[in-house]
A and B are shown apart, each in its own frame.
Chain A
Amino acid sequence: MDAGVRDVRGVTSPPVWSEGRAILHLDIDAFFASVEQIRNPRLRGRPVIVGTGVIASCSYEARRCGLAAGMSLAQARRLCPDATVLPGHAQTYRCFAEEIFSLAGRLAPSLETYLDEAYLDLTGTGGIHGDFLRAGAWLRMEALRRTGLSVSVGIGSSRMIAKLVTRRVKPDGIGFLPPGAEAAFLEPLAVSEIPGVGSVTGRLFGRLGIRTVRDLRRVPEPALRELLGPGGRDLHARAWGRDTRAVTRREIPGSIRRETSFEAPTIETQILVGMLHYLTERALLAARSLGIAARGVHVFVHYLEGPTQARRVTLEAASSGQERIFRAARTLLAPLLQRRAAVIRLGIELSGFGWSPGEQPSLWTEGGRAERGGASGDAIDLDRSVDRVRRRFGFSALVRGPSLELLERVPRDPYGYVLRTPCLTR
């Protein structure tokens, strides 16, 4: 355990902390693999991998063999031949995560959620909870009782500290760093642990001999700004434990990504175009429900034998219309399919979001048809009607366009075609 972090799992009378700024970070342990283990008790205590092509999640039993997320399945099978490999079911995982996030939402109004982790701002709630640690312990206990999943919790005076504490008490742990201990706690850490130090900055720091937070502190702030731009100032502050980033419910995500792998690799254009149409529909349903429109469209394919290839385009005007975005996506896909190589994974990512232009039609459009949200008025009306039907009767109630080609050929459930890769909105 690092200096200062206090692991309070199993401690009957932990200290009381109820004042000042307090951020709680929660992380669902080995999320997808743990859901598979509780769905199927035969998998408990055994190495489990969830993923197709690469490991999306693996159980702690698998991690003991050296497996980690992002590793290729071929390598994973060599290291851990006994592991059970499952393709995964994103929709089921989402339900479990939402159950846990709804519990967390009872503790404080500011909740920022990701795929398998969340931040919660407990500041000012001391009068309600009495003690932040008790609130964290309650969350872990309720999450386990209601879902069977273990959750690790870290509490600190900032997002960065809370997350670093969680890392140190995982799995199935709870810990905190008392206020005032941040600077001493951070000093010996590897600089790569600080948010904002990615692989590129990490390599740059490596060349400059900056390996620990202690080394980073010796670099004056103006020099860091010179080196890294405006981010240098934030990094300097974080090195001293100052992280004032707020916990906010994200109103506009950075990107919405929908992707899937195929049970059997395919070169069939109809299947690939149909799936791209379906993925576009799923991504745009999420965008329209948030009232946002995208300018960036990014299509990527992963060939059975070969790396992922991607193409992207920035639209002249933001759109949330199926017709407009799918037209762009299909244009991007066409050259990627000229290779005539079997595709194992296909996806679309929308980005560059802004608030959707709304209902006001433009007076000056080609052919005299009103245009809204970057698509023709008729098309947007159709999209909204389809959304309404799907909200009422489920996504599977309507299948349209090229995704009709997938009927009888791709497994379906009440949510539509089964996507094998977790979908991200970040």
Chain B
Amino acid sequence: MRWEQLNEVVKVRADFRGGIITPLLVKRGQETVRIREVNTRWIDSQGRHRLCYFSVTTDAGDIYQLRFHGGDMTWTLEYVMFEG
């Protein structure tokens, strides 16, 4: 089992209600991936900007690590977990 680094800029539909960010859908090119569950989240900073990290499980059972950059409001698909 290993994390494959992608660092791919993606579009994400997310819920920001109550000050809690919850990613719901990830759009990678033409493909839309629905997020089944947020496994965990943590916060870091890059310079003066906040970075929000999410480990999520998709409907297909894949595990992604997403990063939301609070400065430029972009989402990055950082890692995908692979078996083997």
Contacts and interface: CB of A to CB of B under 8 A. Distances in A.
B and A form one assembly: yes
Contacts of B49: 394
29 contacts: A38-B39, A38-B40, A38-B55, A39-B55, A39-B65, A40-B39, A40-B55, A40-B81, A41-B57, A42-B81, A43-B1, A86-B1, A86-B2, A92-B42, A95-B43, A95-B44, A99-B42, A99-B43, A391-B48, A392-B47, A394-B46, A394-B47, A396-B46, A413-B7, A413-B78, A414-B44, A414-B46, A414-B51, A414-B67
Interface in B37-68: 37, 39-40, 42-44, 46-49, 51, 53, 55, 57, 63, 65, 67
Contacts of A415: 44, 46
Interface residues on B, range: 20 to 34
Interface in A393-416: 393-397, 411, 413-415
Interface string B17-39: 00000000000000000000101
Given A99-B42, A413-B78, A92 B47 contact: no
A132 interface: no
A91 interface: yes
Interface residues of A, number: 27
Q: Which 7 A-B pairs have the closest CB atoms?
A: A394-B46, A39-B55, A394-B47, A95-B42, A393-B47, A414-B46, A38-B40
Contacts of A390: 47
Given A42-B63, A414-B51, A96 B42 contact: yes
A40 B7 CA distance: 18
A394 B1 CA distance: 30
Contacts of B67: 414
B63 A41 contact: yes
Given A39-B39, A415-B46, 17 more contacts: A38-B39, A38-B55, A40-B63, A42-B63, A84-B1, A86-B3, A91-B44, A95-B53, A96-B42, A391-B48, A392-B47, A394-B46, A394-B49, A414-B44, A414-B46, A414-B67, A415-B44
Contacts of A232: none
Contacts of A393: 46-47
B73 to A, nearest CB: 15
Interface of A is mostly: helix
B71 to A, nearest CB: 9
Contacts of A41: 37, 39, 57, 63
Contact of B47 (A39, A40, A397): A397
A321 B26 CA distance: 44
Contacts of A395: 46
B40 A147 contact: yes
A96 B5 CA distance: 21
Contacts of B57: 41
A148 interface: yes
Contacts of B65: 39
User: Residue among B1, B53, B63 with the most chain A CB within 10 A?
Assistant: B1
A99 B43 CA distance: 8
Interface in A84-138: 84, 86, 91-92, 95-96, 99
Contacts of A91: 44
B72 to A, nearest CB: 11
A52 to B, nearest CB: 13
Interface string A24-45: 0000000000000011111100
A39 B44 contact: no
A368 B61 CA distance: 66
